[in-house]
Amino acid sequence: MSETVPGLQHRTVLLEEAVDALAIEGERANGVFVDGTFGRGGHSRRILERLGPGGRLIAFDKDPQAIAVAQSLMLTDSRFEVIHNSFATISDALASRGISAVDGVLLDLGISSPQVDDAARGFSFRADGPLDMRMDTTRGMSAAEWLATANGEVIEKVVRDYGEERFAFQVAKAIVAGRAVQPISTTRQLAEIVARAVKTREKGKDPATRTFQAVRIFINQELEELEIGLRGAYDRLAVHGRMAVISFHSLEDRIVKQFLASLARAEQPDRRLPIRAADLPQPKMKLLSKVKPSAAEVAANPRARSAVMRVAERLPPAGESA
């Protein structure tokens, strides 16, 4: 589905597949669900279409522009509420609303097309704009402010760890040298500095791609918030509740994969201890599926090509019937 937002388009990735994964049907249609990344509301609107009259949807987003869209939706549907904060706050946010458990959680990670395409946000090197990169423009340090003060070793580590850039040392050195001449305040400045430092690049990929990804992830603490949010979502998930997470790069997907796998794998007790079979540790989640966009979706929306969705279901505690 394509949504028009102030001249910019956002096409929701894995729209039907993600909402299908939440299994919003029967009694569950009147349950409580969470969209941890509202974006421009593609998934949220589809969830609301499937919810019953007694259902409830809680959405989160850090982006003020996304919140403005969500607030207009709140005015037309009393089952919907949006929270201007990261989904990392999910556990406390739900507790403060008296919600002890939810029937499904959807996380669509990364950045939306309107954020990428709006030069004023500073996420992309394709158009010149202020070097901001904050998901939430109302708080925190911009990319330009961070690059003006961080030492070379820290910049190198961020570019290497979050961008998986093998020329991280050269990029960091070039940034430090460049800012000594003039402040790095625009996306074009940063892209040109990186292009001179990165001597070779994969075919069809801009030399600045990995560095921009790295700085964005660091500025927004995306991986740290993902780890906290996954744990919070699991803690609030009801028995047989579903969790569906869409990732767009290997760093995110690795965290999601390892987190779900750890819960789907029962801890092995010390074989020397006398433990009854009924008391053996049991898996806490069941891995259901790994889904990628179809060839047709990728053809219609090239940005979907790197997406992967992992779906899991919470299992009942040992000794309780399914």
Domain finish residue from 220, 255, 278: 220
Is residue 106 domain-shared with residue 25, that is, in the same domain?
Answer: yes
Task: Supply the pLDDT for residue 110.
Answer: 82
Is residue 180 domain-shared with residue 228, that is, in the same domain?
Answer: no
Over residues 197-225, the pLDDT tens digits come to 998 777 778 999 999 999 999 999 999 99
Task: Supply the pLDDT for residue 274.
Answer: 64
- CATH classification at residue 50: 3.40.50.150
87 is in an annotated binding site: yes
Is 207 domain-assigned? yes
43 is in an annotated binding site: yes
> How far is Cα of residue 66 from the mean position of the Cα atoms in its chain?
14
Domain that holds residue 271: 2-113+222-314
Give the chain's length.
Answer: 322
Is residue 136 domain-shared with residue 216, that is, in the same domain?
Answer: yes
Is 269 domain-assigned? yes
- CATH classification at residue 206: 1.10.150.170
Is 228 domain-assigned? yes
Is 293 domain-assigned? yes
Is 319 domain-assigned? no
61 is in an annotated binding site: yes
Is residue 212 domain-shared with residue 91, that is, in the same domain?
Answer: no
108 is in an annotated binding site: yes
Which residue, chain included where needed, has tokens 């990319």?
Answer: 143
Domain finish residue from 220, 242, 270: 220
Is 291 domain-assigned? yes
* Number of domains within the chain: 2
Rounded to 10 degrees, the C-alpha dihedral 120/222/156/145 comes to 40
Is 322 domain-assigned? no
**Beta bridge partners of residue 36, listed in sequence order:** none
Task: Supply the pLDDT for residue 85.
Answer: 97
What's the CA gap between 157 and 165, in Å, rounded? 10
Domain finish residue from 187, 220, 253: 220
Is 118 domain-assigned? no
Task: Supply the pLDDT for residue 266.
Answer: 74
Task: Supply the pLDDT for residue 290.
Answer: 97
Over residues 152-203, the pLDDT tens digits come to 999 999 999 999 999 999 999 999 999 999 999 999 999 999 999 998 777 7
Q: Characterize 266-300 residue by residue with b for buried, 16 or more Cβ atoms within 10 angstroms of its Cβ, and e for exposed.
A: eeeeeeeeeeeeeeeeeebbebbeebebeeebbee
Is residue 104 domain-shared with residue 227, that is, in the same domain?
Answer: yes
Residues of the chain with pLDDT under 50: 1-8
